[in-house]
Amino acid sequence: MADRYYFISAGELAAKGADNIPDELIGNKHLIYSSPATLAFNSPGAQGFGVKRAGLAVPDSVMLLVAPRCCGRNTSALAAPGNLGERFFYLLLDDTDIVTGRHLVRIPEAVAEVCKSLPAPPSAVMICITCVDALLGTDMERVCRKCTEKAGVPVEPCYMYALTREGRLPPMVQVRKSVYSLLKPLPKRSDAVNVLGFFTALSEECELRFLLKQAGVNKIRELALCADFNEYLEMAEANFNIVLNQEARYAAADLEKRLGIPSVELTRLYQLDKVQRQYLLFAAAIGVQFDDKVYYNEAAAAVENFMKSHGNISISVGEWLNGDPFELTLALLRYGFKVPEIFGTVGEGNFVWVKKIAQLSPETRISSNLSPTMMLYKDNEIPCDAFIGKDAGYYHPGVPGVNWNGESQPFGYAGIKALFTELDTVLTAGKEKK
């Protein structure tokens, strides 16, 4: 009988192996505790970027949510004037609709009504459907074609099928394909690339852009930076795509198949030498050389200065952040910091980091935010000097730290530099207060 929250040490977990991860760390093996620390994972739409907000990444598009009212409820949070609220429309289902699927015949009419109500036609209408249509087996592609015929604008489906979260194509993978699905073939430009993976832009300081410029790439496009639909359509002229989030692999594969744009994948890392190595391999793959010394040195200096100012402090790491908590933990350990605990979701993909963490800090505790036993986690139960990640902050009220989950996307050396600079600011302010 549980009388405290569940954790396992990195050493024990590594010894068990990726095939024997305990049930307590696997979301679908227990009820899911939706604490404020974990809302972003259990229900991405509740906080952060869910399918609804992501679907609207296509410039000048609008969204029609076709669902029971409960699925669209939290969209009210986006309804403030000037926010995305003006781009959302709803066709709410009743008891009969959800059993018979009779709502499907009303969708084209609703799309036409949406277009009529706007001062100018939208670039596209994204139709967001939910678990109900997943269970009804709705052929949404067909419904969308009917809508296009009726309304005369492109209509694309966005599948918010929460039931398929652990499937091959979870909602956040599908929606990444949806947002690029309106691109049509264009002649290729050898000096153009797209950055795929995020719905918001890379941080302004990110060196990736500067390194690509060095290599002669003049057009670096990101969905979030497309000022209008025409600029969005120009993404089709890219010579190749750079995938920065593995959830965009499926979209990249689709773009390769439809538009002949190949892709290369880079990972967001916080270990300096791994970032350097990744750039080296990337440059070799595209047949250029990057001069990244200055960026490397800046990031290294940020880490070093932080260590000088604050020493080898202990840092609690969560997963509600821009990065993989296990890779970030490994980076922190390798820089000389202590990490007493990690709140994260372990899977095959990141188990490699767990093994390395186990070598450096076998006693580090690993817990799942989703476990019902997290109700028993007492505030600051495991003492730490700082936290990284909004969820880790929830468990450590009063402790200084950074949420590190902002919309400006950190990457590469600039990400490392920004993380330590932000942490330094917060910790220094804390010291001054004392």
Taking the complex as a whole, how short is the minimal distance between the CB of residue 287 and other proteins, in angstroms?
44
Distance separating alpha carbons of residues 385 and 360, to the nearest angstrom: 19
Nearer to other proteins by Cβ, of 93 and 202: the residue is 93
Q: Structure tokens of 132? A: 């109900």
Among 132, 196, 366, 423, binds other proteins (CB under 8 A): 132
Nearer to other proteins by Cβ, of 6 and 306: the residue is 6
Which one of 35-43, 310-318, 336-344, 381-389 is the stretch in contact with other proteins (CB under 8 A)?
35-43
Q: Does 45 interact with other proteins (rule: CB under 8 A)?
A: yes
Three-state DSSP class for residue 62: strand
Which one of 73-81, 183-191, 300-308, 409-417 is the stretch in contact with other proteins (CB under 8 A)?
73-81
Number of residues that bind other proteins (CB under 8 A): 68
Which one of 9-17, 164-172, 229-237, 284-292 is the stretch in contact with other proteins (CB under 8 A)?
164-172
Among 17, 85, 152, 383, binds other proteins (CB under 8 A): 85
Q: Does 114 interact with other proteins (rule: CB under 8 A)?
A: yes
Taking the complex as a whole, how short is the minimal distance between the CB of residue 147 and other proteins, in angstroms?
14
Exposed/middle/buried for residue 225 (C-beta within 10 Å: 0-12, 13-18, 19+): middle
Three-state DSSP class for residue 125: strand
Q: Structure tokens of 316? A: 């609690």
5 touches 377 (CB < 8 A): yes
Nearer to other proteins by Cβ, of 164 and 408: the residue is 164
Nearer to other proteins by Cβ, of 203 and 367: the residue is 367
Q: Does 98 interact with other proteins (rule: CB under 8 A)?
A: yes
Cα angle 231, 235, 237 (rounded to 5 degrees) comes to: 115
Taking the complex as a whole, how short is the minimal distance between the CB of residue 107 and other proteins, in angstroms?
10
Of residues 368-407, those binding other proteins (CB under 8 A): 370, 372-373, 375-376
Q: Does 46 interact with other proteins (rule: CB under 8 A)?
A: yes
Exposed/middle/buried for residue 413 (C-beta within 10 Å: 0-12, 13-18, 19+): buried
Q: Does 146 interact with other proteins (rule: CB under 8 A)?
A: no
Which one of 23-31, 142-150, 282-290, 399-407 is the stretch in contact with other proteins (CB under 8 A)?
23-31
Q: Does 42 interact with other proteins (rule: CB under 8 A)?
A: yes
Nearer to other proteins by Cβ, of 72 and 154: the residue is 72
67 touches 132 (CB < 8 A): yes
Among 19, 20, 70, 257, binds other proteins (CB under 8 A): 70
Q: Write out the H or E segment, with its range, that includes residue 290.
A: none
Distance separating alpha carbons of residues 163 and 373, to the nearest angstrom: 23
Distance separating alpha carbons of residues 103 and 89, to the nearest angstrom: 15
171 touches 165 (CB < 8 A): yes
Give the dihedral sign, CA 341/344/346/350: negative
Taking the complex as a whole, how short is the minimal distance between the CB of residue 181 and other proteins, in angstroms?
23
Work out the number of other CB atoms within 10 angstroms of the CB of residue 384: 22
Distance separating alpha carbons of residues 157 and 124, to the nearest angstrom: 10
Distance separating alpha carbons of residues 266 and 198, to the nearest angstrom: 13
Among 7, 8, 13, 27, binds other proteins (CB under 8 A): 27
Q: Does 111 interact with other proteins (rule: CB under 8 A)?
A: no
252 touches 243 (CB < 8 A): yes
177 touches 51 (CB < 8 A): no
Summarize as ranges the residues that interact with other proteins (CB under 8 A). Answer: 1-2, 27-34, 36, 39, 42-47, 67-77, 79, 85, 88-95, 97-99, 103, 106, 109-110, 113-114, 117, 130-132, 134-136, 160-167, 370, 372-373, 375-376
